[in-house]
Amino acid sequence: MNLDQFRAKCAALPGVTRDIKWQTREVYSVADKMFAVVSADTGQVSLKVEKTRFLELTDHPGVIPAPYLARHGWIAITNTYVLPATELAGLINTSWRLVRDKLPAKMRHTLPIPD
Contact status, residue 101 vs residue 71, Cβ threshold 8 Å: no
| pLDDT attached to residue 45 | 97
Measured CA distances, 111 to 12, 16, 66, 83, 91 (Å) = 12, 10, 27, 27, 18
DSSP code at position 75:
E
In sequence order, which residues have a C-beta less than 8 Å from that of residue 90 and are 6 or more positions away? none
pLDDT tens for 14-24 read 999 999 998 88
pLDDT tens for 63-113 read 999 998 999 999 999 989 999 999 999 999 999 999 999 999 988 888 887
According to CATH, the topology of domain 3-108 is: Aspartate Aminotransferase, domain 1 (3.90.1150)
Average pLDDT, the chain: 93
pLDDT-derived band at 34 (thresholds 50, 70, 90) equals: very high
Q: Where are the domains of the chain?
A: 3-108
